[in-house]
Structure 1
């Protein structure tokens, strides 16, 4: 086995991509939300827009943001998945060969080397293998993500005051939990399909289907506990920093 290092296989890919993806996601969301709000409620000042209109605008902006960032994130995630299952694929290969009673030392590939190998074997579009599932997960997940956040923030904000740090943290944590619970089966199915692509030769059409029933749905939620806890903590911090930085920027702009 790989030991503790195996838990960190492919870590550099998300570390390099997360900043760009988060920045694009929140920037697209903030800008498109204003545009959708203007379309849904023309000539109505933002403070007087109804909560329903604001929520619909948030949903549409989240869907738009998720669809755009999926184009950026899909190659990174597919490369990360290829790196993570590389050891398992090599192990399966050697275990099926009678001439190898023990596993040889496997030298892990780096992120760039793995991406180059995917392009070499599958072409440039190979980095977008399983993209329809990735697009569905990101668009639906991001739409739900921002919808839940805006709804929880509205519900937790006193009607005679402004939202504070605790409201941002609670809303961010709750939106991460609920959005991830709903989108987790899509994410699992996406990973399964991409794994099937990686474990089959290039050019092979994956037509296998898995019937959806109670047992398969339970499998789709395997590992959801850890993901939900992580999502709660990360998004509580994420929105707290985002909202407070936005307040600081608005204050600096007003002072200038």
Structure 2
């Protein structure tokens, strides 16, 4: 594999990370607030619009981007890793990163990228989740000086290991998500009519399908990280507790903003990736 091709994939992943984070962060914040809500039923849970209005009315519009610095940095790194590692594993199976290698191979290549992604995404999710629910704390917010200060506070009080709270559940989630994500994109890209919309539509659908398939694991991860500094349960313990207190609907709290975000972000992310690779190769 020529080094220039790897660099092109890296640049494409970098572009995907920046564009996707800026577009999707407000909806991700709303999703986290809905996932960690203490409500006990879907009917009484706040809706997408209610949560948006509540945040803007009580915390101002800037709160929608609270904690964005860490994911802007980490998701840029993460998407660079995701796209390059996925293409690497795809080449292992077929010898070429450009050709469609079949659904099962694409799914496996994406899943193998999951443990690599989790090393970066777990601390990013931990810091982001803590900041996104900060205004819900009794006694007032703790993290008022940005993402990096929040990370320092968490490390100072609880050690570096605290940043990897929920790592197991996040790794399983990443494997499930990335496998479905890349396989869906490749299948749709291969079968959709060739047009300017084929990449964003395939990417948007890939994001939506990926989130639906892995969403209960994301909800478990959010609750493990959101309950900090209390002792965290295992994936099964936390999932069982959510089911007991909120029912099956509790594992899908915040799904609506996640699907909207997933379609918009993934459509723009794959478009940014393809444009980034094309631009790099032109240069």
* Higher alpha-carbon deviation: 144-153 or 204-213: 204-213
Residue of structure 2 aligned with 1:59, choices 107, 114, 119: 107
Normalised by the length of structure 2, the TM-score is 0.69
Point out 4+ residue stretches in structure 1 off by more than 4 angstroms. 247-250
Structure number with larger C-alpha Rg: 1
Structure 2's unaligned 5+ residue stretches are 1-57
Deviates most, 25-34 or 239-248: 239-248
Tell me, yes or no, if structure 1 residue 216 matches structure 2 residue 247: yes
Normalised to the residue count of structure 1, the TM-score between the two structures is: 0.76
Give yes or no for contact 1:21–1:73 (8 Å, CA) kept in 2: yes
Asked whether the equivalents of residues 243 and 251 of structure 2 are also in contact (C-alpha less than 8 Å), the reply is: no
Q: Residue 61 of structure 1 contacts residue 143 of structure 1 at CA under 8 Å; is this kept in 2?
A: yes
Q: Which residue of structure 1 lines up, in the alignment, with residue 139 of structure 2?
A: 93
Q: Which runs of 5+ in 1 are unaligned?
A: 39-44, 95-104, 158-162
Residue among 84, 89, 107 paired with 2:132: 84
- Equivalent positions of 1:219-230 (< 5 A) are 219-230=250-261
State the alpha-carbon separation in 1 of the partners of residues 97 and 144 from structure 2: 53
Secondary structure of 1:165's aligned partner: coil
Q: Is the 8 A contact 1:165 1:240 kept in 2?
A: no
Alpha-carbon distance between aligned partners in 1 of 2:142 and 2:93, rounded to the nearest angstrom: 52
- Which residue of the other structure, out of 170, 174, 181, is the alignment partner of 1:145? 181
Seen in structure 2, the aligned counterparts of structure 1 residues 173 and 199 have a Cα distance that, compared at 3 Å, is same
Query: Is the CA contact 2:66–2:146 (under 8 Å) kept in the aligned structure 1?
Result: no
After TM superposition, list the pairs within 5 Å mapping 1:40-189 onto structure 2.
53-89=101-137, 92-93=138-139, 108-157=144-193, 163-189=194-220
**Are 1:239 and 2:270 matched, yes or no?**
yes
Compared with structure 1, are the counterparts of its residues 37 and 7 closer, same or farther at alpha carbon in structure 2 (3 Å cutoff)?
same
CA 80–215 in structure 1, closer or farther in 2 if over 3 Å, else same: closer
Give yes or no for contact 2:70–2:147 (8 Å, CA) kept in 1: yes
Give CA-to-partner distance per residue, 1:80-136, whole Å, 9 cap, x none: 1122223322xx237xxxxxxxxxx97713212211121122211111001001111
Paired position in structure 1 for 2:87: 30
Take 2:97 and 2:183, find their aligned partners in 1: how far apart are those partners? 17
Shift of 1:63: 0.8
- Equivalent residue pairs, number: 222
RMSD between aligned residues: 2.8
Counterpart Cα distance in 2 of 1:86 and 1:234: 24
> Within 1, Cα distance between the matches of 2:150 and 2:68?
13
Deviations along 1:120-158, whole A, 9 cap, x unmatched?
Answer: 22211111001001111111101110011111112214x
Say which structure, 1 or 2, has more relative contact order (CA 8 Å, 6+ apart). Answer: 2
Q: Give the 3 Å change call, closer, same or farther, for CA 34–152 of structure 1 in structure 2.
A: same
